[in-house]
Each structure stands twice: as C-alpha cells, then as structure tokens.
Amino acid sequence: MTAILPFTSHQRSGWPRALLALVFARAVNGLGGFALSFLAVTLVEVYGAALTRAGEVVAVFGLATIASRLIGGRLADRIGRRRTIVAGLCGCAVGLLVIAGSPGILTATIGALILGLFFEIYEPPSQAMLAALVPTGRRPQAFGLLGAALAAAGVAAGALAALLGSFGLRWLFVADAATSLAAAALVYAFVPSPESSATADARPIRSPWLDRRLLIMLAVCTGMALTWMIGVTALPLTLAARGIAPSRTGWLLVIGAFVTIGGQRLLRRGDARPFALMGLGLVLVAVGFVVDGLAPGMRLFAVGTMIVSLGQVFLLGPPYAVAANLGDDAARAGYLAVFGTGWGIAQTVGPIAATRLLTVGVAQTWLSAAALCLTVALLLPVAARGVLGRPPRDTPQISGS
C-alpha cells in the first residue's frame, strides 16, 4: 500500500503520479463501496419488500447502469474525463442519500434508479485514463493495481460495514455517499485535467459497436459479471437464511480483500496469456461458490470467500487490459464503455436470478452460479481465437463513441 497512498512515491513504484492519484481516489470511494452488497437485504429487512420485489428493484438499478456506462463514455469525449468522473461520483451520492432517507419502498426504488443512472459514469473515463498512463504490457498490472487498491479499501470497508450495519442498514448508504463525495473532491484536486480525448471531435474515430473483437469481449464480460452479481446478491441473503446476521458479510469482505491484495503478484505476466488466466479465475470462483452453497457457518463461508476472491484476481486486470488494447486513446473511453455494459446487463439479470433461485433453495443458487462459471470458462478458448486469432478489422469510421 505504500506505493498507492503517497503520490510522491511514483519513482519508487514505477507508476506515474497521475495514476496513483486516480487509484487513491478510487480507493477512497471504495471505503463505502459495500452498500450495493446490502441493497437487496436492506429492501427486505428495512422496507419490508418481498424477496422477489427486492430482486426487481435491484434489477432496475442494474438496467440503469447500462445507460450509465454509455453516458460515461460519451461525456468523456465531450466534456473531458476528469469532469465526467466528478459528475458521476456526485450523482451517486445523491442516489445513495435518497435510498438512505427513503420512507418506503417506492422512494427507495427511485433512489436505486438515480444511483444506477450515475453509478457507472466514472468507469469508462477512469479506465481510459488509467490505460493511457501506462504502456500496453503493463496494463494488466495497472488494472490489477486498481483492484488491489479497492481491495485494500475493502479491508476497512468490511469492518465499517459490520460496525454501521449493527446500528442500521441505512447508515451503510450514508457512508457510501460520503466517500463518493470525498473521491470526487480528490479527483478534482489531484488528477490532471489535460484530456487526450479532447481531440475526438477533430477526426473520425472507430465505432466500438462495429468491432467484432470488442463484442466478443462484451459477451465474456457479461458472463463473468453475471456470476459475480449472483454471488454478491445471494451472500447476505444466504447468511440470513442460515441464521447469521447479514451485517457479518462485512467481515467476509475483509477476508476477501486481503486475498485480493496478496494475489496481485500473480498478474505480473498477465499480458502473456490473459484468457488462460480468466479461465483459471472462473474455475476458482466456481469452487468457492460450491463451498458457499454447502457452508453451515461462518468458517466455511470464510473459506469460500477466500477461494472466490483468489479467482477474482484473474477476472479484474486481464479482461480490462484486453478490452483497453482494442481501441486507440481517442476511442478508448467509448470502447471501455461498451465493454462495461456487460456489468449493467449482469446487474439487471443477476439480482433477479439470485432472488428467484433462492426461493428454490440456497444450495441450488450457488451450484447454479458455479455451473455458469464453468460454462463461461469452457467458452473462453473460442473467445480467445475470435479476439487474438486475427488482426484488427477495419471498421467504418463515424464520429462519436
């Protein structure tokens, strides 16, 4: 962490100061990033929603994030990456505070919609900025560094979630809003403002939707993200179903964060065989899901969380690096916006799938998610041939992303 926190340590760490500032701001935002994991259970326990209704509200959030990603990519090319990041974070704070102060399920749904419309806006510009700051060969490590910083924040976030959750689940959303505003202030103050994407209007750029390689990566992202969202939604609800306080999910997040931080060294050669690493990650996540599905108490949940978190190490840096390498700097925010819509699709489908499966049975939910992981892993060799097995195609040139 010493290479992440002080911006002046860039000479020792080998990372540009601007990248460290961006990563640190994201880590601050990550201190409150646990709230989404508790959205479904908050709707059930605080607002009295039925389990299936909670899944539908979280799906509304997920559907809104699809538009949010695309808005983020477009705004990055129109008003600049730094301004887009700040706007997205401030909008998230508004949505979170609406959820926290809601008198009932209707207002909470409106808050979830607002949150979703802003939730992913900062992702494309921040990822494009990160990719522009490092050479191609170091991008898996750079995205891994971002994941490690968020995991490091997750250590404190998990403890904070467990503490605040004991006072009331609403406080989790207040804390997340505060960290979103703090991150926006840090980005505005310390991340440089020059925008390489500012020239995007001066010349035609490749349409990301017409790049077949990117669409293949979008399908890969959607499959991976769907497994993640099922697990995120199901975990606190599974704890509750087995007589464990949902707030103890926070301690599992702490355990997972330590594993994610320690696993970053495994990405040192992440640019060499990215699809093989993704396959390994999916197999590990599947094993962890099986353990969670059979766990009777916190000890086995901790084991399952460690295995899942180790798998997630390989599902963060490599796929984002592959997607970032497909477009040049002027088009990269748009490319990453399209790639990231897979998360919006997953955030729409995943909560509904998880809550529906939980009505059938807890074990069935986790075993189904594990089966999905293995299915995606089996399809990765086909995806690799489609993305890496031929040179980039020439596509029609149009303005915008």
Q: Please, which pLDDT band fits residue 392 given cuts at 50, 70 and 90?
A: very low
Cα 254 off chain centre by: 17
pLDDT at 397: 34
pLDDT at 194: 56
pLDDT at 218: 95
User: Is the per-residue pLDDT at 233 higher than 50?
Assistant: yes
Q: What 3-state DSSP class applies to 79?
A: coil
Right CATH number for 17-191+205-391 from 1.20.1250.20, 1.10.10.10, 1.10.287.110, 3.40.190.10? 1.20.1250.20
pTM, full prediction = 0.72
Q: Please, which pLDDT band fits residue 270 given cuts at 50, 70 and 90?
A: low
| 326 vs 10: CA distance, rounded Å | 27
| Higher-pLDDT residue of 206, 152 | 152
| 193 vs 26: CA distance, rounded Å | 17
79 HSE (CA, 13 A, CB side): 12
Question: What crossing angle do the helices spanning 274-294 and 212-241 adopt, rounded to 10°?
Answer: 20
Q: Average model confidence (pLDDT) for the chain?
A: 83
Strand ranges for 191-344 from DSSP E: 205-206
Phi–psi pair at 169, nearest 5 degrees? -65, -25
High-pLDDT (> 90) share of the chain, % = 35
Strand duo 397-398 + 205-206: pairing: antiparallel
CB 55 within 8 A of CB 116: no
